[in-house]
Amino acid sequence: MIEIKRIYDFNSAERMKKDNSLKILVDRLWPRGISKEKANINLWAKDIAPSTELRKWFNHDENKFNEFKERYFEELNSNDYAIKFKREYKNKDIVLLYSAKDNIHNNAVVLKEWLEKQNENEEN
């Protein structure tokens, strides 16, 4: 199962320790104001995050989200780390953590959709 959570809403170390899911930060930049100790994540997968160029172009503009999603899918499809990540975490309970304020238009939402589509395609 894949969940997505905003790290600022999910950063209580006590709460995260009780959760058996793997906590994976999927942003290229470390979230402001959160220490690595307080984050208590299992993995910082910055190599699966959108490229700096794509992130800057998108700039969290919801009007660009559909094109951002297409471009990010293209990056993921050609990213060896993303393919390895998909295989390694398939059938595991993971929480994709992100820092954006917008919980609908962000890279974690797109990554979750990509991972689910990849898993679905492998099953067919």
Segment 40-69 shows an average pLDDT of 95
Adjacency order of strands within the sheet including 94-98: 2-6, 94-98, 22-25, 43-44
Candidate from 41-45, 74-78, 113-117, 120-124 with smallest mean pLDDT: 120-124
Burial label for 63, CB within 10 Å (0-12, 13-18, 19+), is exposed
Query: Residue 36's pLDDT is what?
Result: 84
At 105-115, the pLDDT tens digits run 999 999 999 99
Mean pLDDT of the chain: 89
Task: Look up residue 77 and give its two tokens.
Answer: 């499809």
44 and 96 in contact (C-beta within 8 Å)?
Answer: no
At 70-96, the pLDDT tens digits run 999 999 999 999 999 999 998 899 999
- Domain extents for the chain? 2-123
